[in-house]
């Protein structure tokens, strides 16, 4: 419960702060922060589902709903967040329609891998790709503080998702959730600091 509570608090706080800050920015960084905020909402919903949804009987589909929310967070929320962070660092601009198409592509890719029986492999490679995207974004960020925060977040996100596969020693599930929450907090802080530094420089 502690891990999911921390994850919920971190994701919701980051979502609110990023969205409020995005309203004062130009169109490109505004869309990137709003997409990041949406991705954190997905993750907060999954954490909330783990905290609040409890099986009430054999006829209830609570476990299915929890799994749907977890999949939304892992296979859509986290990739959106990493992509938005990379886009901000690289100076890329995508329209809202472009972000919508990317979200649909993430859904389709997950469903394809699930039907092919590649769920575990896809999760591992996704976690590696997310860590690589965050590390690449950190390399291109101009603010040293943001660079350090996002770079530190990369291994935390990687271990928060795939520690059981990557490590010989098994980490408790709560610790993995805490690591993921820490990574998300660092990414949110890095995005806020980067956009504030850019705004002040202008």
Tens of pLDDT, residue by residue over 36-49, are: 999 999 999 999 99
- Residue 47's nearest CA partner among 159, 181, 157 is 181
pLDDT at 197: 67
Contacts for 56 with CB less than 8 Å, ≥ 6 apart: 62
Query: What confidence category does residue 150 fall into, taking pLDDT thresholds of 50, 70 and 90?
Result: very high
- Percent with pLDDT over 70 in the chain: 94
Task: Name the 3-class secondary structure at 89.
Answer: helix
- Number of neighbours of residue 116 by Cβ within 10 angstroms: 10
Cα(85)–Cα(79) distance, rounded to whole angstroms?
Answer: 10
Query: How much is the average pLDDT of 93-107?
Result: 92
Cα(73)–Cα(64) distance, rounded to whole angstroms?
Answer: 14
Q: pTM value?
A: 0.92
pLDDT at 7: 95
pLDDT at 198: 63
pLDDT at 18: 95
Cα(48)–Cα(8) distance, rounded to whole angstroms?
Answer: 6
Query: What confidence category does residue 55 fall into, taking pLDDT thresholds of 50, 70 and 90?
Result: low
pLDDT tens-digit map of 6-16: 999 999 999 99
Residue found under tokens 């929890």: 66
- Considering 8-12, 118-122, 198-202, the range whose residues carry the highest mean pLDDT is 8-12
Cα(47)–Cα(159) distance, rounded to whole angstroms?
Answer: 17
């Amino acid at each position: 419960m502690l891990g999911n509570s921390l994850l919920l608090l971190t994701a919701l706080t980051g979502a609110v702060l990023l969205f409020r800050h995005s309203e004062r920015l130009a169109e490109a960084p505004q869309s990137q922060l709003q997409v990041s905020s949406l991705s954190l909402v997905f993750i907060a919903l999954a954490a909330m589902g783990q905290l609040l949804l409890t099986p009430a009987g054999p006829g209830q589909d609570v476990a299915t709903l929890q799994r749907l929310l977890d999949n939304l967070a892992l296979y859509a929320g986290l990739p959106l967040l990493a992509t938005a962070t990379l886009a901000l660092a690289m100076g890329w601009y995508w329209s809202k329609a472009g972000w919508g198409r990317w979200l649909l592509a993430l859904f389709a890719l997950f469903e394809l891998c699930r039907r092919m029986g590649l769920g575990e492999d896809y999760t591992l490679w996704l976690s590696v790709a997310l860590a690589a995207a965050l590390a690449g974004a950190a390399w291109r960020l101009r603010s040293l503080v943001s660079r350090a925060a996002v770079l530190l977040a990369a291994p935390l996100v990687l271990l928060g998702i795939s520690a059981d596969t990557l490590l010989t020693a098994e980490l408790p599930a709560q610790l993995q959730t805490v690591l993921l929450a820490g990574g998300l907090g660092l990414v949110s802080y890095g995005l806020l600091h980067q956009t504030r530094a850019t705004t002040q420089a202008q």
